[in-house]
Amino acid sequence: MKVQSLSIVLVSVVLSISWRNQPGEQKVSQVDFVNRVADKKVDIMIDGKLFTALCWPDNVYKPILYPVYTSAGTEITRGFPLKPREGEQNDHIHQVGIWLNYGNVNGHDFWGNGYRGVKESNGGVIRHLRIEQLKGGSGEGSFVSFESWLDPKGEELMTEKTEYHFIAKGSARIIDRITTLTAGDTAVLFKDTKEGMFGIRVARQLELPSSQGVILIDASGNPSKKKNTKNEGVSGNYRSSEGVTGETVWGTRAKWVDLFGIIGDEKISLVVCDHPKNPGYPTYWHARGYGLFAANPLGWNDFTKGKEIFNFTIPAGRSATFRYRVIVNSGAHLTDSEVNAYEDDFIKRY
């Protein structure tokens, strides 16, 4: 029975997880999936509440995880452009949820396609094909998604197979993404650019305070006529595995980066971990104060001011795999030792 033929699928199998226990933790959460084919999405449910959804809207031009919530139910992704919220920025319309793509693939822009809200003439499209192997369970669930990377003429440059693992552990929610890209009959060149690769666009509250002011939208989605300089509720800050903080994280290498802040009275840590098997490890970070939080292992030239360059190629018929872990912790900001433990587990698992 094919998954894509189902309107709703709820699958539960018990998976054993090797993990250190958190203090006071007793309950093991249940991870389930609802495959909503007609809506072009799969909902990831933890204890009956939405954690995130893999979706592929026609006007986004790539599959995304959106929205993303903490275990307490607080959304940590920006709503714009799919569901704009008052007080958000409406820049960079192509930055939606969590995604993986790149700005120069055989000369085509997969990263910025749709930045004006419409398909760009040189924009590449990642077309979702199907989902297989949905396995819900106690503490963890997983599935495999298949995609096709198409040039502006609709010709396939490469295929994508991505394993998604969703883990619930106490107040933490974890996403492990293992993406294998396979070139077709011709080689695929990822030309060195800062526009990539694994990105998240976060809620306004997790942005870094700006002294220059920003344009915000009202309840109707209309931008203000002048910049807002108050930074009300804006509390984000970066910290890397190498001890770099703030916006100076941009253009530096690190094994992981923690974006931490407060939404309402909820302390939140949002961590992205690199993996030693990834090309370009440890990755450079394309992490901006305005809410873009991205790891880019292939864009060395901009980050080193021309001192290094890395034009990564997948030969014809060959594959390359990229592994990333996202940790969303609610109620406390994670310490270095806690993040390192999550990173160590990630490395051991894959």
pLDDT, position 180:
98
Q: What's the total number of domains in the chain?
A: 1
> Looking at the domain assignment, is residue 74 inside a domain?
no
Distance CA 148, CA 161 (A): 9
Question: Residue 50: inside a domain, yes or no?
Answer: no
By the 10 Å C-beta count (0-12 exposed, 13-18 middle, 19+ buried), 149 is classed as: buried
3-state class (DSSP) for residue 51: strand
Q: Considering the domain boundaries, does residue 62 fall inside one?
A: no
Would you state the pLDDT for residue 184? 96
- Does some domain include residue 6? no
The answer to the question of residue 69 being in a domain is no
Q: 115 lies in a domain?
A: yes
Among residues 218, 235, 231, the alpha carbon closest in space to that of 88 is found at 218
Number of helices (H) and strands (E) in the chain: give both, helices first: 2, 19
Residue 52: the pLDDT is 98
Range of the domain at 101: 81-128+143-349
What are the 10-residue block averages of pLDDT along the chain, 350 residues in total? 41 38 67 96 98 96 98 98 96 97 98 92 97 97 98 97 98 98 98 98 97 91 91 97 98 98 98 98 98 98 96 98 98 98 98
Q: For residue 346, what is the enclosing H or E element?
A: helix 336-349
The answer to the question of residue 35 being in a domain is no
Position 14 in a domain: no
Give the three-state DSSP class for 303: helix
